[in-house]
């Protein structure tokens, strides 16, 4: 990996503290950072280098997955950090930033490879990218790259505007759009599961798969984010990005080569084949819901409209379920169901592939009940794969019963999503970052749903906090004779 400078905008913010500094430190401990590097924090606060470095150290001690921190390792890592106070909207401040970056490049003898990470509110993306360009920071002799976090626009038009502005300063190849779901180990594993196993590769189509269920349920409510969430809702917050990314990863076809270009081309094909919804069809295919008061475990919790900062008449959805059809020869006729929501019974992200069960009747005639084969991919918080099979139980007079073959990653010390993603960005591997095509096509698919919600063409139903979500989401699957698996 080539030596580089890492310029972090939003260095005094929450994401930097909770995720970025600990991830960089863990990469350093694992010897996954370049031999030489400089990290320049940029923030509005007038901090000294010392104050900044102290805050970095504190964040590592508090949030790193490693509990034992060796001072002899930490000290040289912290020596790479420095801080510049800049009002990011003021072009004049970028001269001092450039000066600092160059000074550190000289000091550490670094080539001019510059990674810019925008850990700031989205309204600053454009102005920062433009100022990087105009100040000369963005014309290094080596490479330059930009990492940004979602939200990437709030509809198709705003995403296109933003992209157009960013691409004035950075090419598509230089932009790394983080979708942290693509950093999850089991989401990255989908590609290997599908293609490195001939048994699954052979079955990965509509002849053998009955339906696919993708769930991301959370127990948390809106927390302190009402200001943001009221404007976003589950559709913008989770579906346009994370849920559709998982759908693309499950449904993509085998690429010619396992490279970023080929994998992203396959993902794009999936998104292009997703059947668009007409506004008047949204209500039949999408469930929109909001949580009412209930209980999470033993703890009573208030309904969404009673959360601090939420309007008592709020129409924001905290839950979405949708039926998605992919109109290509591989998936025609296979419903993909997605659902995500807050204040649900469990925190679980999982993908269930239900296989067809053509011989069910044959066994039924023998008074035996067989269940469909299921491939269950547990993404989070448990990480693992389970396969449900039918097997005769010798201890129960040879009756057929479902058995589950289970692989669980257990509680190994698995690197976090941000570690994997930063490592990839630093070595220039964009496989697990959202390409502009994916973002654009996702917004395009989401647009009629946004419009139908705005015009109130889809009823906002309620579900009790701590439940598995609204009845309407069960009805959605019932229409094809299916039900959600694993809602215990």
Nearer to ligand BG6, 101 or 190 (CB): 190
Helix axes 436-454, 156-169, angle to 10 degrees: 150
User: Of the residues 208, 242, 253, 488, which is catalytic?
Assistant: 242
Rank residues 32 and 380 by Cβ distance to ligand BG6 and give the closer one.
380
Q: Are 25 and 423 in contact (CB under 8 A)?
A: no
Compute the least distance from the CB of residue 316 to ligand BG6, in Å.
Answer: 12
Q: Shortest distance, CB of residue 380 to ligand BG6, whole angstroms?
A: 6
Query: Residue 411 catalytic?
Result: no
Q: Which residue has the tokens 């909001």?
A: 290
Instruction: State the minimum distance, in angstroms, from the CB of residue 337 to ligand BG6.
Output: 18
Measured between alpha carbons, how far is 277 from 447 in angstroms, rounded to an integer? Answer: 9
347 appears as a binding residue in the annotation: yes
User: Angle 218-222-227 (CA atoms, 0-180°, nearest 5)?
Assistant: 145
Q: Is 165 in the site for ligand BG6 (CB under 6 A)?
A: no
Q: How far is the CB of 31 from ligand BG6 (least distance, A)?
A: 26
Q: Kindly provide the residue ranges of all beta strands, DSSP E only, lying in 111-254, ordered along the sequence.
A: 114-118, 144-149, 175-178, 209-217
Q: What's the CA gap between 243 and 227, in Å, rounded?
A: 22
- Give, in order, the Cα–Cα distances in Å from 135 to each of 63, 176, 189, 272: 34, 21, 41, 38
Closest CB to ligand BG6 among residues 41, 151: 151
Q: Of residues 188-217, which lie at the interface with ligand BG6 (CB under 6 A)?
A: 216
Query: For 151, which DSSP code?
Result: P
Q: Cα 101 vs. chain centroid, distance in angstroms?
A: 31
3-state secondary structure 405-420: EEEECCCCCCCCHHHH
Say if residue 369 carries a ligand binding annotation. no
Q: How far is CA 44 from the centre of its chain?
A: 28
Q: What CA–CA distances, in Å, run from 143 to 102, 111, 112, 126? A: 14, 9, 7, 20
**Binding mask of the shown chain, residues 363 to 382, with x at each position contacting ligand BG6 by CB under 6 A:** -----------------x--
User: Could you say which of 105, 174, 191, 218 contacts ligand BG6 (CB under 6 A)?
Assistant: 218
The four Cα atoms 85, 87, 93, 98 give a dihedral, to 10 degrees, of 60
- Euclidean distance between CA atoms 181 and 200, whole angstroms: 23
Residue nearest to ligand BG6 according to CB distances in the complex? 237
**For ligand BG6, the closer CB: 341 or 470:** 341
Contact between 237 and ligand BG6 per CB under 6 A: yes
User: Contact between 349 and ligand BG6 (CB under 6 A)?
Assistant: yes
Q: Which is nearer to ligand BG6, 186 or 216 (CB)?
A: 216
CB of 138 to ligand BG6, least distance (A): 28
165 known member of a binding site:
no
Q: Which of residues 380-419 bind ligand BG6 (CB under 6 A)?
A: 380
Supply the minimum distance, in Å, between the C-beta of residue 234 and ligand BG6: 8
Q: Which is nearer to ligand BG6, 190 or 216 (CB)?
A: 216
Residues forming contacts to ligand BG6 in the complex (CB under 6 A) are 180, 216, 218, 237, 349, 380
- Residues recognised as catalytic: 242
What residues form the annotated binding site for NADP(+)?
A: 10-17, 44, 87-88, 150
């Amino acid at each position: 990996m080539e030596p580089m400078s890492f310029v972090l905008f939003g260095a005094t913010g929450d994401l930097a503290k909770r995720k970025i500094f600990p991830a960089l430190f863990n990469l350093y401990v694992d010897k996954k950072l370049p031999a030489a590097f400089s990290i320049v924090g940029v923030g509005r606060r007038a901090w000294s280098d010392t104050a900044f470095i102290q805050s970095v150290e504190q964040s590592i001690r508090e949030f790193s997955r490693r509990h034992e921190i060796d001072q002899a390792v930490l000290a040289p890592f912290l020596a790479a950090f420095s801080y510049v106070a800049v009002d990011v909207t003021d072009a004049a401040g970028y001269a001092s930033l450039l000066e600092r970056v160059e000074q550190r490049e000289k000091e550490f003898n670094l080539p001019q490879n510059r990674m810019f990470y925008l850990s700031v509110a989205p309204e600053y993306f454009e102005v920062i990218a433009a100022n990087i360009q105009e100040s000369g920071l963005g014309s290094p002799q080596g490479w330059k790259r930009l990492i940004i976090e979602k939200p990437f626009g709030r509809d198709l038009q705003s995403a296109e505007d933003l992209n157009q502005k960013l691409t004035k300063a950075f090419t598509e190849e230089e932009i790394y759009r983080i979708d942290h779901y693509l950093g999850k180990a089991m989401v990255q594993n989908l590609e290997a599961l599908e293609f490195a196993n001939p048994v699954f590769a052979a079955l990965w189509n509509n002849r053998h798969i009955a339906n696919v269920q993708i769930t991301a349920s959370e127990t948390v409510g809106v927390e302190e984010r009402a200001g943001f969430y009221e404007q976003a809702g589950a559709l913008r917050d989770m579906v346009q990005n994370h849920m559709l990314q998982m759908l693309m990863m499950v449904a993509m076809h085998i690429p010619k080569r396992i490279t970023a270009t080929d994998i992203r081309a396959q993902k794009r094909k999936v998104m292009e084949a997703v059947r668009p919804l007409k506004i008047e069809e949204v209500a039949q295919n999408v469930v929109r819901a909001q949580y009412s008061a209930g209980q999470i475990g033993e703890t009573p919790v208030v309904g969404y409209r009673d959360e601090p900062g939420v309007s008592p008449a709020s129409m924001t959805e905290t839950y979405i379920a949708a039926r998605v059809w992919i109109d290509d020869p591989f998936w025609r006729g296979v419903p993909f169901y997605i659902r995500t929501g807050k204040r649900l019974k469990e925190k679980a992200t999982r993908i269930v592939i239900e296989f067809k069960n053509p011989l069910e009747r044959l066994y039924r005639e023998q008074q035996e009940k067989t269940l469909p084969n299921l491939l269950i991919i547990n993404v989070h918080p448990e990480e693992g794969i389970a396969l449900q099979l039918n097997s005769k139980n010798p201890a129960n007079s040879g009756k057929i019963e479902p058995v589950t073959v289970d692989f669980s990653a257990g509680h190994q010390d698995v690197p976090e999503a941000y570690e994997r993603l930063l490592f990839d960005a630093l070595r220039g591997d964009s496989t697990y970052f959202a390409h502009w095509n994916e973002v654009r096509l996702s917004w395009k698919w989401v647009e009629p749903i946004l419009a139908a919600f705005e015009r109130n063409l889809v009823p906002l139903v309620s579900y009790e906090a701590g439940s598995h979500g609204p009845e309407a989401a069960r009805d959605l699957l019932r229409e094809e004779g299916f039900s959600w698996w694993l809602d215990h």
